[in-house]
Structures are given as C-alpha cells and as structure tokens.
Amino acid sequence: MKLTRFLPVLDWLPTYSPATFSSDLVAALIVTVMLIPQSLAYAMVAGLPPQVGLYASMLPLVAYGIFGSSRTLSVGPVAIVSLMTAVALGKLFEPGSEEYLAGAIVLAVMSGLMLVLMGVFRLGFLANFLSHPVISGFISASGVVIVASQLGHLFGVSVSGDNLLALLGGLVDQWRDSHGLTLAVGTGTLIFLIAGRYVLPSLLVKAGVAANMATLLSRTTPLIAVTATTLLTWALGLEQRGLAVVGDVSGGLPALVMPSLDLGLWQQLMVSAFLISVVGFVESVSVGQTLAAKRRQRIDPDQELLGLGTANLASGFSGGMPVTGGFSRSIVNFEAGAETPAAGFYTAIGIALATVLMTPVIALLPVVTLAATIIVAVVTLIDIPAIIRTWGYSRPDFMAMLATIALTLTNSVEAGILAGVLLSLGLFLYRTSRPHSAVVGRVPGTEHFRNVDRYQVETSPELVMLRIDESLYFANARFLEDRVLELVSEHPRLKNLVLVCAAVNLIDVSALESLETINERLQDSGVRLHLSEVKGPVMDRLRGTALLENLSGNIYLTSYQAWKALAVPARPQ
C-alpha cells in the first residue's frame, strides 16, 4: 500500500514549485489576517482565555497539512465546536479556571484519539447516521444560542446558560443594568461589520475591484474593527470608563503540555468528546468535499479522520482547544488561491508571530468587539431556507429537524445532537422496515416491467411478480412475509410468485430465514417461489443455503425470462 495513503503530504510536496509557494503565501497572509480576531472570538465562546484560540490555530494547521487529504481545508476553532466545548466544561468547572482549561485540553486530546482510531478502523461511514436535515437544524439552532450568548457582552451585563431560554431569561433580568458605552461601541462595531460583509463588496466592485478581491477585502473588516476599537480604548481611556477589555494575555509561543490523566475527568467528558468529534468531522468533510469538487479533486473521509485527529492532538498537547475544518476560513483560503496545505503551514507561522508580538495590544481589545465579531460571523449559520425546504419536501425529516432545533434551543446542544442522531436512526429504521414494493407487469411489446398501479401493463392470472425496492434485513423481514401472504390471499388462481430483486443489495440472516419461511408457506399453498435479477454479491451469499437447496421454483437472470417461462396468456392491466 502506498505511503501517500497515510501521509498525503508526500503526494504534493515533491512537486512543490515557486509558483505554488507564491499562491500559498498570499492565501496564508489573507487567512492570517482573518484568523487573528476569529481565533480570539471563538476562544471567548468556549469560555477560555483568548490566547488559547491562537494556540489552537498553529500546530493543528501543521498536523492537518501532513495527514489531511484536502488541499485547501483550514482547521482551527469554529463556532459550533467552541459552543459544545463551553457546554461540556461549563457543567463541571468555573469558566476561566485552571480546571476549565485543563478540561479543554483533555477534550481536544480525547477527540483527537477518537478521530484517529476511527480513521485507523475506517469508520468514516458513522457520520452518515447524521442526516442533513438534523445537522442543518443543529447548526442553525446552535447559531441562535451562540448569538444569544454574546448579547450579554453587547449590553455590558453578565448572562450565562446552556440554552436560549436561560440566556434570554438572564438578559431580561439584567437589561436595566446595561452599560451605555459598551452598548454604543458594540452597536457601532456591529454596523461596521455588517456593512463590511454585505455592502463593501458591491462598493468595491463598482469602484473597479475584481469581485473575488472585493470579497477577500471585505473579510478583513473584523481585523479593522479590532484594531480601531483597541486604539480608541487606549487613546480615550475607555477601560477606566467601564468598557470591559480582554486584559492580560500570556505572550509567547505555546508550551507543550501533558493532559490531565484523571480517569474520572476522562469519563465525564467522554460523551461530549465523541459528539464534538462527530459534529466536527461532519462539518469538516462537508466543507472539504465542496471545495475539492470545485477543482476536480477528492478527499478521503477516512484519511480526514486521521487529519482531524492529529490536528486535535496537536491542539491539546500545545495548550489549545478542540478544532475542526472551518467553513469561512476554508472558503477564504480557497478563494485567496491556496494550492496546497503548505498555506496552512505559513498561516501557522503568521499566527505564531502575532501571538509573540501582539499580546500587549490584545490586552486593550474590548470584549464587546469580539462579541460583535462572533454575532456577525455566526448569523450566517442560521439557515432558514433549509428549514422551509425540508418542510415542503419531507414532513418526517422536518419533524426530526424541528426536534433537534427545539432541544438545542431549550435544553442543550448535546441533547439536541443526541436527539438528532436517535431520530435519524429511527427514521431510517422506520422507512426501511416498510420498504416500497410493487406488483409489476410487462409493458406491452417490450421486455420492461412497471408498477401495475401506475402503468398500462400485461399481467398473468397465475403469476405475480413482486419487486422489492430495498435491501432485506431484520427490520423488514416480517413485513415481506406479510406482503407475500397478502398477495396469495388476493390472487386465488396464483401458481407462481417471482420476487424481483434488482434493488436488493443485502439479505441478512433474519431476512434469509424469512425467505425460507415464505418458500415453505407458499409450497403449502401450492405456489412456487422464484427469484429474478439477483445481484452477484447477493447470490454469492445465498449459494449453499437451505433457501436455494429447497427453493420450489427457479432463479431467473431477468424478469423477462421469468415472464416467458411462467406467464399464461397475458391480460392487460
């Protein structure tokens, strides 16, 4: 097996050229400018010191660049994972305490270990158990909770809670204590950031700037807001007038740390670490696949598990927090022209320089500026059109989405995502336990067969051809038995029943036993059971079984062969 299978860096590094270096360096400069305020902000969402966000944006980028399969994915702190980190740790420790920070490190390391193990055992398919409506609902609801959690900073009051009800309740109780200066700075920053995101690009395009460049320039507005409000705080002495600032930030590069080995703590955080791993993986793979498709590249989900796992391990051992591939930063990295993961290496160097040189300045950064940055960034996660589309297309999927949203908003993000997983599995089992099946007949003059309830087809009074449109397994085995017996009772002249298995990709032991029972009961009724269009892998498993040894009828390659052999003079349906 090729070494590049486990070390994708060996695939692109040998062909690295000066032109690629230039593209990656430019992208890294732009992403670095964006990541500095974003990393500080998401550390605040997680309830951690701001430098932790910077630490989580260095070594994880390097680790992912070595082991990840996406050329343009950028990893680091993201809104959803930061919120899940805060919820997991907030139940155990006081935010900002040494124990809280130690718990964040354990979460990152545990998440990394889980992801690496899933990658080694190629368990990327587990993420498929989270349906798109559930993930969309969870992300939208989490976005609402994150926005609500920052409103207290905007008004200059202290609110806390794991859900929307608690956060809004605290805000209502304290709104009379709002700090006017904080509200003014926060509102002004919000207006500036909204204008920068939604108005500035069109103005730049009208001024002759290329559309892509205008979009990239608009991404720098958070850094401008951070710089401007920090300078105003310093020049006007706003801290002395009650404006809350970040305060002293530990300078220098992160030191390597050893996570706590307290088994009790690991047990308490295990479920949270698993949920963070799964949600982070789903988000990361979705972003990576979207970007890879635009350049006709591909990513390997199992290798992504290794890439994200090593990134989280690197974050934990360098004093960081759980990380994953971020949508906004990855889009900026892609649009800025990044060609390889080396752009992440250069971004890590840029973040390291900022950490060393800018920490004295960060101390005067208003907390409300970070809150405004978070609000504007997170509002884009709230996907109302997806909720409307799901309502119009599938009510069961909408109910699963609605339950996820409701529990996330009223209980906690963990309850919301667990409910989403259980509902996704429940819907899958319900749908496949009652598989679509159809009695089919021959389209006159052809070798094609269609549903007798939808088309004008030919049928035979002594023959029923039943098409099963689902794999057969334990959950639907009894349903098939009931369906066959129902058909026998409806067709008194029936002599032959053909199961058309074109859509059957699997027959498990429970379904095999049901087929054997069906064969016996049909024989008792004087009806022969036949199979047609059985796929090769399914037939390989059936060979040597009691079903084929005792099958009362035959196995036909096509439905048309079965029709020619078994049909008496046909009649139109």
| Residue 539 CB burial class (10 angstroms; 0-12, 13-18, ≥19) | middle
Q: Which has more confidence, 332 or 523?
A: 523
* Secondary element (H or E) of residue 203: helix 200-206
Per-residue pLDDT, 336: 82
Instruction: Give 287's pLDDT tier (boundaries 50, 70, 90).
Output: confident
Per-residue pLDDT, 2: 66
Structure tokens at 293: 């498709």
Distance of alpha carbon 273 from alpha carbon 266, whole angstroms: 9
HEC per residue, 53-106: HHHCCCHHHHHHHHHCCCCCCCEECCHHHHHHHHHHHHCCCCCCCHHHHHHHHH
Cα–Cα separations (whole angstroms), residue 388 to 136, 419, 496: 12, 20, 47
91-126 confidence digits (pLDDT tens): 899 888 899 999 999 999 999 999 999 999 988 777
Q: What is the mean pLDDT of the chain?
A: 90
Instruction: Give 13's pLDDT tier (boundaries 50, 70, 90).
Output: confident
Q: Which has more confidence, 352 or 327?
A: 352
| Mean pLDDT on 291-297 | 79
Minimal CA–CA distance to 318: which of 59, 35, 103?
59
The CA-based diameter of the chain, rounded to the nearest angstrom, is 97
Partnered with residue 283 across adjacent β-strands are none
Residues in contact with 496: Cβ distance below 8 Å, sequence separation at least 6, in sequence order: 462, 463, 464, 527, 528, 530, 553, 566
pLDDT of 1 above 60: no
pLDDT of 534 above 80: yes
**Out of 131-145, 217-231, 248-262, 555-569, least confident range:** 248-262
Q: How many CB atoms lie within 10 A of CB 362?
A: 23
**Strand, coil or helix: 500:** strand
pLDDT of 556 above 60: yes
Per-residue pLDDT, 346: 95
Minimal CA–CA distance to 56: which of 328, 351, 287, 341?
351
Per-residue pLDDT, 377: 86
Per-residue pLDDT, 432: 86
**Strand, coil or helix: 561:** helix
Distance of alpha carbon 345 from alpha carbon 63, whole angstroms: 9
Q: Which has more confidence, 47 or 125?
A: 47
Helices (DSSP H) in 447-567: which residue ranges? 477-490, 509-524, 536-542, 546-550, 559-566
394-434 confidence digits (pLDDT tens): 988 899 899 999 999 998 888 888 888 888 888 888 888 88
pLDDT of 306 above 90: yes
pLDDT of 571 above 70: no
Instruction: Give 532's pLDDT tier (boundaries 50, 70, 90).
Output: very high
Taken in order of first residue, the domains within the chain and their CATH numbers are 8-428 (no CATH), 437-572 (3.30.750.24)
| Mean pLDDT on 128-135 | 80
463-516 confidence digits (pLDDT tens): 999 999 999 999 999 999 999 999 999 999 999 999 999 999 999 999 999 999
Per-residue pLDDT, 8: 86
Given a contact cutoff of 8 angstroms between Cβ atoms, the answer to whether 53 and 42 are in contact is: yes
Given a contact cutoff of 8 angstroms between Cβ atoms, the answer to whether 558 and 521 are in contact is: no
What's the CA angle centered on 56, arms 373 and 246, to 5 degrees?
45
Q: How many CB atoms lie within 10 A of CB 65?
A: 29
62-76 confidence digits (pLDDT tens): 999 999 988 889 999
